[in-house]
Amino acid sequence: MVQGEDDLRGLAKIMAFMRAVSIIMVLMHFYWFCYGFFAQRGWTLEVINKVLGNFHRTAGLFSNTLYTKIFALVLLALSCLGTKGVKNEKITWPRIYSTLAIGFILFFFSTTLLKLSASIAASSYILTTSTGYIALMVAGIWMSRLLRNNLMSDVFNNENESFQQETKLMSNEYSVNLPTKFYYKSKWNQGWINVVNPFRATIVLGTPGSGKSYAIINNYIKQHIEKGFSMYIYDFKFDDLSTIAYNHLLKHTGKYSVKPKFYVINFDDPRRSHRCNPLNPEFMTDISDAYEAAYTIMLNLNRTWIQKQGDFFVESPIILLAAIIWFLKIYDNGRHCTFPHAIELLNKKYADVFTILTSYPELENYLSPFMDAWQSGAQDQLQGQIASAKIPLSRMISPQLYWVMTGDDFSLDINNPKAPKILCVGNNPDRQNIYSAALGLYNSRIVKLINKKGQLKSSVIIDEFPTIYFRGLDNLIATARSNKVAVCLGFQDFSQLTRDYGDKESKVIQNTVGNIFSGQVVGETAKHLSDRFGKVLQKRQSLTINRNDKSTSISTQMDILIPASKISTLTQGMFVGAVSDNFDERIEQKIFHGEIVVDNDKVTSETKEYQKIPQILSFDEAGEDKMKQEIEANYRQIKQDIIGIVETEMERIKNDPELQYLVQKEK
């Protein structure tokens, strides 16, 4: 500290000396070029005459009025660099510019006055040049002081919190590259956000209207289709994202070695939906698969259960539904293994259901909690266990939903290299509580099928992520990188994720994601992101004002790079975040804070040319009545299938001597 003060004092002395030399140079200039004026009054000295004569012969400073003035002005400018604090707070740049202009004119253009009569010329020249010099000195002092105090004009600390960002485009066969504009060194610069490794997963945060879909998620869909990715898209507001994917695929089909097919799951309009059975028995190899499916369905229907996983009355209905699903898988080679068949079987008499299920050795132990309650006569407990499964599932009884989930138009192995797919599943905000369970079942099955080696690179893009319970997503993020699965999740803030997924799972997702984008978010989410981006060395200024002077001191300290207050007030289209890199693709500036540039005119022209997603061929020539008849016939057939299964199984049990004990239990 003492050493620093000594250095400042030494610098101040040097600046004062330079200003004194500058003033002396101006005085010598007057003496030389107005020598007659001074000689007439007897104000000359022989010593000074000799000194100036030597200067003139050696340096040539006095051979022209301009040379001396420039030399004096340079010394004056250098001396102003050491100016101390400002005494007058009203100093402004316009005031400085006007004073500087006046001083420059008077100081340099006063030479014309020497052409007047000797006495008038000399006095006028000295007065005008002196006035100009004083004006230049004042303007220089003001300018130096204002520049030294410029931190005070940056009340929001924008300059301190701006930083150099990535300006180089780094593209590869998997990357997503977004052009940006960022503020640094008092100007806007062009840059790039390079997501060179999308397989380390991406989170896109932002309050409604912050531009996360328009600026980021839409680009993920477009660029990954251009690079030949298979894709699964959860379209909460169907068909916003689906239309983009469909039309972009039409333009870039040639990017795929095997032409992908476009599929849609849409419960609202069966004419615009393919049919797919998420419980396809070919892809269920173990009873744990049935348990996973049941878990996903029940937790989507009862979000409060997410916080109560492991409780008796949470696990019981899940186990019951899992047993029913596995029974349908092993019965008649899985011909009736669909979700609608499972709902219908669950709603049959529980005595018949338990009798049938426990007749299979692999399910007998699985259902022991129910059998214990049944055999001990604990009817209230048993009814409670069964009702916990029946009541929420009964909300899903719908002919349209049954129609979509019992067909077999395609399989869910979307990244099969021999049959790549772009699959869009549509939800409806008005019916999300019903549809989310069915769609969650598709999600859980897809997670199982795509996370395998030797498959095509694929994307899982989920907008409005908390509206659906995606069981196993945290494991997919953690393990799917080596299998070329890129996950992109869009939602509003972390509190929303914690509410719908629970604290533990929410934190796992937050902490395992490698790429993060955030528009405007507030509260704890903004604080969390601010901490994640870390600190940077910033300038700090303090002012001390007294009656006679005002001193300024500038220090540096580590401070938050992007404060939470900045994140909570981001403009639409402005994003902060961080990206991850690869061993062979190092990104020095991983953190970004800028505007993602979207070519609005290009997007508008593309949107105008978009085609609607066509109706499914099977309904092209069918009228409304014909469609309803087919859907209703399918609905009745499912009910009839279950009635036939129950009757056939009960008859088998009655005719099998080894199973007679089950008949006695039923009685």
Contact predicate 373/382, CB 8 Å: yes
152, pLDDT greater than 80 = no
Mean pLDDT of 521-544: 82
Q: What is the pLDDT of residue 420?
A: 94
The single residue listed with the structure tokens 């020598």 is 35
The lowest-confidence range among 13-17, 115-119, 367-371, 577-581 is: 115-119
- HSE-CB at 86 with a 13 A cutoff on CA atoms is 19
Q: What is the pLDDT of residue 150?
A: 53
Exposed/middle/buried for 195, CB within 10 Å: 0-12, 13-18, 19+? buried
Q: What is the pTM of this model?
A: 0.75
Contact predicate 193/177, CB 8 Å: yes
Sheet holding 202-205, edge to edge: 187-195, 176-184, 591-596, 574-578, 515-518, 202-205, 485-491, 458-463, 230-235, 421-426, 261-266
Two tokens at 150?
């410029």
Q: What is the CA radius of gyration of the chain?
A: 40
| DSSP summary character for residue 216 | I
The lowest-confidence range among 23-32, 146-155, 199-208, 418-427 is: 146-155
Q: What is the pLDDT of residue 221?
A: 95
Residues 6+ apart with CB under 8 A from 215: 178, 573, 575, 596, 598
Residues 6+ apart with CB under 8 A from 60: 67
149, pLDDT greater than 60 = no
Strand partners, 194: 177
Q: How does pLDDT run across 557-574, given as a tens digit for each residue?
A: 777 888 898 999 999 999
For residue 262, the Cα-to-chain-centroid distance in whole angstroms is 27
Q: What is the dihedral of CA 130, 136, 137, 142, to 10 degrees?
A: 150
521, pLDDT greater than 90 = yes
* Interatomic CA distance for residues 625 and 632, integer angstroms: 10
Q: Report H helices in 303-418.
A: 312-330, 339-346, 350-357, 361-364, 368-375, 379-394, 399-404
What type of residue is 378? A
What type of residue is 310? G
The per-residue DSSP string of 147-162 comes to HHTGGGG-TT-HHHH-
* Interatomic CA distance for residues 518 and 567, integer angstroms: 8
Closest residue by Cα to residue 225 from 489, 423, 413: 423
Contact predicate 576/570, CB 8 Å: yes
Coil vs helix vs strand at 563? coil
Coil vs helix vs strand at 187? strand
Q: What is the pLDDT of residue 519?
A: 93
The per-residue DSSP string of 285-297 comes to -SHHHHHHHHHHH
Q: How does pLDDT run across 314-345, given as a tens digit for each residue?
A: 777 888 888 899 999 998 888 999 999 999 99
Q: Return the CATH number of 153-276+409-620, one of 3.40.50.720, 3.30.420.40, 1.20.1630.10, 3.40.50.300.
A: 3.40.50.300
Closest residue by Cα to residue 227 from 451, 420, 418: 420
What type of residue is 2? V
State the average pLDDT for the chain: 82
Closest residue by Cα to residue 322 from 379, 279, 361: 279
* Percentage of the chain lying above the pLDDT 90 cut: 29
Q: How confident is the model at residue 2 (pLDDT cuts 50, 70, 90)?
A: very low
Contact predicate 170/193, CB 8 Å: no
Q: How does pLDDT run across 159-169, given as a tens digit for each residue?
A: 777 888 999 99
Residues present in the chain in total: 667
Q: What is the pLDDT of residue 316?
A: 77
* Interatomic CA distance for residues 149 and 87, integer angstroms: 12
Contact predicate 519/575, CB 8 Å: yes
Q: Could you state, in order of their start, the residue ranges of all structural domains in the chain?
A: 2-148, 153-276+409-620, 288-295+303-408+625-667
What type of residue is 434? I
Exposed/middle/buried for 494, CB within 10 Å: 0-12, 13-18, 19+? buried
Q: How confident is the model at residue 378 (pLDDT cuts 50, 70, 90)?
A: low
The single residue listed with the structure tokens 């338990």 is 354
Q: How does pLDDT run across 42-100, given as a tens digit for each residue?
A: 777 777 777 766 666 656 677 777 888 888 888 888 877 665 544 455 677 788 888 88
Which residue would you say has higher pLDDT here, 19 or 224? 224
